[in-house]
Amino acid sequence: MIWYILASFLPAIMVIMFSMMIKNKYTGLALAALVIGVSVYKGFFHSEMIVFLDTLSLMLGYFAVDQLKLDQTSHY
């Protein structure tokens, strides 16, 4: 059960964090997708439902960055 909860939130958080650090939403999405893709390739996933939740969470994270303009904020 914990795997499904993590798959629902962790990729979105990764997209948001990478996008805010790099200041580019496309690169943040690509890095998060790369991390998820490598872990799928290595076999760390137990079912296709987790891969589906990861994909959905990646998209939701991207839309959150896009709508809230988190990649354009300045912390200075």
Query: Helical H runs in the chain?
Result: 2-22, 25-42, 48-68
Q: Are 4 and 53 in contact (CB under 8 A)?
A: yes
* pLDDT mean over 4-27: 95
Q: What is the pLDDT of residue 76?
A: 57
pLDDT in tens, 19-69: 999 999 999 999 999 999 999 899 888 789 999 999 999 999 999 999 999
The answer, yes or no, to whether residue 75 has pLDDT greater than 70, is no
Q: CB under 8 Å to 12, separation ≥6 — which residues?
A: 57, 58, 60, 61, 64
Q: How many domains does the chain have?
A: 1
Q: Which of 15-19, 62-66, 71-75 has the lowest mean pLDDT?
A: 71-75
Q: CB under 8 Å to 45, separation ≥6 — which residues?
A: 39, 51
3-state secondary structure of 1: coil
